[in-house]
Amino acid sequence: MWQHLFHGPGRRWAPAGASLFAALLAAALSGCAGPAGHPATAARGRDATRVRAPDRATCDQGGIIRGPRDRPRIALIFTGGAYAEGASPILDALAERDVRASFFVTGEFVRTPEFRPHLRRIVAGDHYLGAHSDAHLLYASWEDRSRTLVTREAFRDDLERNLADLARFGPTRDQMRFFIPPYEWYNREIAVWAGEMGLTLFNYTPGTRSNADYMPDDHPRFIPSAAIVDSILGYEARSPDGLNGFLLLLHLGAGPERTDEMHPRIPPLLDELTRRGYTFVRVDELIEPVGPCRESRPVGGRSLPGDSSLAPAFPRSGQSSRRHSPARR
């Protein structure tokens, strides 16, 4: 389409063509250029126009699933429930690299005496601490996401218990404005109810398999930890936006039935992402300053177009035993 703007073998500009090309190029690149300082910016420049409104968050069902993509920043999200064998080594790795992350835990985690030192260390390390629900409720049907399975009162009471328990470790209610839903599964009604409580619901960014790091070794959908790391780095390499604005979800523990632990791979993963030009920020630093979201897809859909990773990685209810239940994460 640009051939008429060039003449001669040396691609010398015609005066009128130069002005027209400059105007069109400026329009194409405004608001969607690659991030300054990102080592892969030049390679991704030809794909930069695929990004729409990179300075805004991306939403799904009313919940934020990705922060602004205009800078190479990642929010590490760790959730905890029944297990926490990775908590100490994860906190060690973060402290050694002066990295801040965000932690969201259930009532079971808070009420487990052995886990309380982790909570105190999270707060002392200036990490974000927030709610993941008290009883790890399933908010929406797997088969029909629009069908809410809890009442507004049950939703509210459960979250308030979780927030009250967490407040005993230091953060105030106002400081715990972000929360990630149990099972990482919700619908638009749940997001509205969270907003009525002064909370912002968010979920992990789809595209990698980091959310599958809790699966037992014999789970039919088990993914080795090395493959999870490969999925993260592979997505970074092939996506026009890399991992800019990513909410990268990992778990604090998976229990004894997963011997292929993910947490030993986190330190080298942090080092590699740092080498690729990324910085790590808390969730409230990544998505709090942004304005309205842009929805990623029509309401009622199951997952992002061409991306199966937003759907839960575990079996649907009725298909799993107690020990494979996602509530055990």
Tell me what pLDDT residue 79 has: 98
The pLDDT tens digits for 50-103 are 444 468 899 999 999 999 999 999 999 999 999 999 999 999 999 999 999 999
All structural domains of the chain, each given as residue ranges with its CATH number in brackets, are 51-301+315-328 (3.20.20.370)
Tell me what pLDDT residue 288 has: 76
Q: With 60 as the cut, is the pLDDT of residue 170 above it?
A: yes
| Mean pLDDT score across all residues of the chain | 81
Structural contact between residues 50 and 75, judged by C-beta atoms closer than 8 angstroms: no
Tell me what pLDDT residue 20 has: 40
- Give me the amino acid identity at 38: H
Mean pLDDT, residues 162-168 taken together? 98
| Percent of the chain's residues with pLDDT above 90 | 70
Q: What angle do CA 303, 305, 311 make, to 5 degrees?
A: 20
Bridge partners (DSSP) of residue 131 are: 105, 179
Angle between helix axes 266-275 and 225-238 (nearest 10 degrees) is 10
Structural contact between residues 169 and 129, judged by C-beta atoms closer than 8 angstroms: yes
Mean pLDDT, residues 212-231 taken together? 97
DSSP 97: T
